[in-house]
């Protein structure tokens, strides 16, 4: 089935439970919920709405994530970055490999734009292309006259 070239959505959608990894929870009983809004044709980028109730937890990023806070606020801290409160309209970018501590004092809702930086198979394709380039440059020096 072909994907629509243009998709629309809204931030006011029903969110389904999206539990935080229990070993990441530091304090409280944060309840996360989310709703997938869109996925790129290649499957490497997604957009979702995510909310969470009061609690403190670690988050480990295995892909790039840009967020914009829609409701509420959260305090985020990380190594080399002191705790800072982010609220409605604030945008934060987390690179793949980042670790952050989230402290939600009441409630937060965000839109998240997620992107895989090294999709499965892409690394193989890049290496194959680079190998072909090396081979063609080597062959280019051996032309017969």
Q: How far apart are CA 107 and CA 111, in angstroms?
A: 14
> Where in the sequence is the domain holding 111, given as residue range(s)?
16-140
The CATH number that applies at residue 63 is: 2.60.120.10
Polymer length of the chain = 145
Is the entire prediction scored with pTM above 0.85?
A: no
- Give Cα separations from 100 to 57, 75, 137 (angstroms): 8, 10, 45
Beta bridge partners of 36: 48
Whose tokens are 């994530």? That residue is 65
Number of domains the chain contains? 1
| 4 falls within a domain | no
Work out the pLDDT band at 145, boundaries 50, 70, 90: very low
| 6 falls within a domain | no
| 8 falls within a domain | no
Among 32-46, 57-71, 123-137, the range scoring the smallest mean pLDDT is 123-137
| 10 falls within a domain | no
Let me know how many helices (H) and strands (E) the chain has, helices first. 1, 8
Structure confidence by residue, pLDDT tens digits, 68-115: 999 999 999 999 899 999 999 999 999 999 999 999 999 999 999 999
User: Are 91 and 63 within 8 A, CB to CB?
Assistant: no
């Amino acid at each position: 089935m072909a994907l629509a070239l243009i998709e629309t959505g809204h931030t006011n959608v029903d969110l389904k439970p999206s539990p935080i990894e229990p070993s990441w929870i530091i304090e409280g009983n944060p309840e996360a919920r989310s709703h997938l809004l869109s996925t790129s044709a290649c499957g490497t980028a997604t957009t979702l709405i995510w909310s969470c109730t009061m609690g403190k937890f670690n988050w480990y990023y295995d892909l790039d994530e840009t967020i914009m806070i829609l409701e509420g606020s959260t305090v985020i801290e990380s190594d080399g970055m002191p705790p800072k409160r982010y609220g409605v309209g604030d945008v934060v970018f987390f690179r793949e490999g980042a670790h952050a501590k989230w402290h939600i004092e009441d409630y937060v809702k965000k839109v998240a734009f997620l992107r895989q930086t090294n999709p499965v198979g892409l690394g193989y394709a890049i290496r194959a292309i680079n190998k072909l380039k090396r081979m063609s440059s080597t062959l280019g020096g051996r032309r017969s006259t």
